[in-house]
Structure 1
Amino acid sequence: MNRIFLLLSLFLIVAVAVAYYYLGGFKKAEVKLETTAQPIFVAGRYFEGPANSEAFGDLTREAYQIRTSGKLRGTFGNIFYNDPAKASETAKVFVGLIVDDTVSQALPQGYRYRTFAGGQRVLHAQIEASYLVAPDKLYTGVKDAAKTQGLTLQNVFLERFPTSGPVEVWAAVK
């Protein structure tokens, strides 16, 4: 009986490790210090409150639905105005879609534009991983790079979650 439980436990551990591997959990984020060439436009809505709240989830689902319905062309993205690691307490985030410009598409009702400024120094992190594990890897990479390079984060972060390709974070630095 104990052998069955041992074998079942080992099988479960291996299955979880394989799933984590396929999600990209063992990869490290690639982080570079850059200067943004041009502004990045995000169309969406502002949210302030706990990141695990229903309202935050509703905004995320709304942005996903707007993109999939074709009402607005873009890539899912957020601008955090505080440390996302502390967002479970109070997130200050603009949730929406990263768009090419502010004139070629009509905004859905209630949506506004926000800009992640061009010409600013940022730590740009990217990783080929699932959105389930990527944020933790990206933010850990950004914080480690900032510490290593003696940079101070400004607590303004742009996240980009494309349907294919690497997940990215730009973190403004002083």
Structure 2
Amino acid sequence: MNKKVFYIVAGIATVVLVFYTYLGGFTAADTSLATSQTMYVAGQSFEGAVEDKALGQAFQRVSQVLQEKKLEGHPGNIYYNDPDRSGDSLRAFIGIIIPDSTVKLPEGYTLRTVPGGRKVVRAEATANIALLPKKLYGAVFDYAKEEKLKLEEFYVEWFPEDDKGVLEVPVKE
């Protein structure tokens, strides 16, 4: 009986590991010091708990706007704090990185400009969207710690392709 249980557990573990590998769980993020480029983000503000239904609705709206081709671009967000350090309270701007600031915005959307020319820690990774945030943020924080860099609480993330993510965090000067 013990051998049977062992083989079942080993089989399940193998399937889980193969699935995790397929999702990109073992790929490392490329992290470096870079200079940011100016970006335009069309979207909506959010302030509240990470579990708030309104946050999910903001992400769904981004998907809808892109599917209906109301804007050309890719999903991108600005976070003004780290919810892990601020008791699950999030201040964010959820939206779409657009190439031009003169486009007509969908109803309820505003435009924010992320200034360029700043020294940032930049991480890029390829993995499933469910794994990307943890992978990107972990890589940025690890890099900053290794290089003894202080980071601002200003995070810009975007997803230029399916299963690809980029995160930039300015270095305190």
TM-score (norm 2): 0.93
SS at match of 2:121: strand
1:11 aligns with 2:14: no
Q: Distance in 2 between matches of 1:116 and 1:173?
A: 15
Match of 2:68 in 1: 69
Match of 2:171 in 1: 173
Q: What is the total number of aligned residue pairs between the two structures?
A: 172
Q: Distance in 2 between matches of 1:85 and 1:152?
A: 17
Equivalent positions of 1:73-92 (< 5 A) are 73-86=72-85, 89-92=88-91
SS at match of 1:137: helix
Match of 2:140 in 1: 142
Letter in 1 for 2:111: Y
Match of 1:51 in 2: 50
Gap regions ≥5 residues in structure 1: none
Distance apart, 1:84 and its partner CA:
4.8
Q: Report Cα offsets for 1:41-73 as digits up to 9, x if no partner.
A: 110000011112211000000111110110111
SS at match of 2:55: helix
Distance apart, 1:162 and its partner CA:
2.7
Are 1:51 and 1:88, in contact at CA under 8 Å, matched by a contact in 2? no
Are 1:154 and 1:173, in contact at CA under 8 Å, matched by a contact in 2? yes
Q: Stretches of 4+ moved more than 2 A in 1? A: 1-6, 84-88, 162-166
Equivalent positions of 1:149-168 (< 5 A) are 149-164=147-162, 166-168=164-166
Q: Report Cα offsets for 1:11-51 as digits up to 9, x if no partner.
A: 11111111111111111111110111x31111000001111
Are 2:46 and 2:55, in contact at CA under 8 Å, matched by a contact in 1? yes
Q: Distance in 2 between matches of 1:71 and 1:23?
A: 30
Distance apart, 1:86 and its partner CA:
4.2
Q: Distance in 1 between matches of 2:47 and 2:72?
A: 25
Are 2:42 and 2:110, in contact at CA under 8 Å, matched by a contact in 1? yes
Gap regions ≥5 residues in structure 2: none
Match of 1:110 in 2: 108
TM-score (norm 1): 0.93
Distance apart, 1:4 and its partner CA:
3.0
Match of 2:32 in 1: 32
Change (3 A) 1:165 1:132: closer
Q: Report Cα offsets for 1:82-132 as digits up to 9, x if no partner.
A: 1254477111110010000111x2100010011221111101100111111
Distance apart, 1:8 and its partner CA:
1.7
